[in-house]
Amino acid sequence: MKNKNIIFFSVDRLGDYIIRSNVIKKISDNFDHKEIVCSEKNFKLVNSQSFFNNVYFFNSNKKFLEKLKFLKKFFLKKYDSIIVFDGKNISNILLFIIKANFKFTFIYKNKGVLNYIYRSFLIFILDIFKINYEILHSRHLIENGNIDNYPRKYKKLNIFFNNIDSHTYYLENTNINIYDNFSNKFIIIHLDEKLKDIKNINNNFESSIRNFQKSIGKKVFLTSFNNNFDYYINLNFIKIDFKNLENKIMNDSKILIIENMPLNYFQNLIKNSYLNISCHSGFFVHTSLSLNKKTIDVINKSDEIWLDTWIDDNKNYRKVYKSNMKERIEINNILDSINDEIK
Structure confidence at residue 247 (pLDDT): 92
3-state DSSP of 184-224: CCEEEEEECHHHCCCECHHHHHHHHHHHHHHHHCCEEEEEE
Provide DSSP, 97-108: HSEEEEEEEEEE
3-state DSSP of 230-298: HHHHCCCCEEEEHHHCCHHHHHHCCEEEEECCCHHHHHHHHHCCCEEEECCCHHHHHHHHHCCCCEEEE
Query: 11 near 88, Cβ under 8 Å?
Result: yes
Dump pLDDT digits (tens) for 297-324. Answer: 999 999 999 999 999 988 999 999 999 9
Dump pLDDT digits (tens) for 123-140. Answer: 999 999 999 999 999 999
Neighbour count for residue 70 (Cβ, 10 Å)? 20
CA angle centred on 205, ends 200 and 209, rounded to 5°: 145
Nearest to 182 by CA among 219, 156, 127: 219
Task: Name the helix (H) or strand (E) containing 17.
Answer: helix 14-19
Structure confidence at residue 343 (pLDDT): 75
Structure confidence at residue 72 (pLDDT): 95
User: What is the mean predicted confidence (pLDDT) over 175-198?
Assistant: 96
Q: How confident is the model at residue 61 (pLDDT cuts 50, 70, 90)?
A: confident
Dump pLDDT digits (tens) for 203-215. Answer: 999 999 999 999 9
Which residues have C-beta within 8 Å of that of residue 32, sequence separation ≥ 6? 2, 3, 4, 5
Structure confidence at residue 239 (pLDDT): 96
User: What's 3-159's CATH class?
Assistant: alpha beta
Structure confidence at residue 3 (pLDDT): 77
pLDDT at 295 over 70: yes
Q: Give CA 121 to chain center in angstroms.
A: 31
Structure confidence at residue 212 (pLDDT): 97
For CATH 3.40.50.2000, the residue range(s) in the chain are 3-159, 180-342
Largest interatomic CA distance in the chain: 65
pLDDT at 40 over 80: yes
Q: Mean of the per-residue pLDDT values for the chain? A: 96
Dump pLDDT digits (tens) for 68-126. Answer: 999 999 998 999 999 999 999 999 999 999 999 999 999 999 999 999 999 999 999 99
Please report, rounded to a whole number, the percentage of residues in the chain having pLDDT higher than 70: 99
Helix pair 263-271, 282-290: axis angle to 10 deg = 50
Query: 174 near 48, Cβ under 8 Å?
Result: yes
Strand 78-84 relative to strand 54-58: parallel, antiparallel, unpaired?
unpaired
pLDDT at 260 over 60: yes
Chosen CATH of 180-342 out of 3.40.50.2000, 1.20.58.480, 2.40.50.140, 2.60.120.1570: 3.40.50.2000
**Strand order of the sheet with strand 275-278?**
238-241, 255-259, 219-224, 186-191, 275-278, 295-300, 317-323
Structure confidence at residue 118 (pLDDT): 92
pLDDT at 1 over 60: no
What is the SS3 assignment for 145?
coil
Structure confidence at residue 13 (pLDDT): 94
pLDDT at 174 over 60: yes
Helix pair 89-97, 63-74: axis angle to 10 deg = 20
Structure confidence at residue 342 (pLDDT): 86
Structure confidence at residue 334 (pLDDT): 97
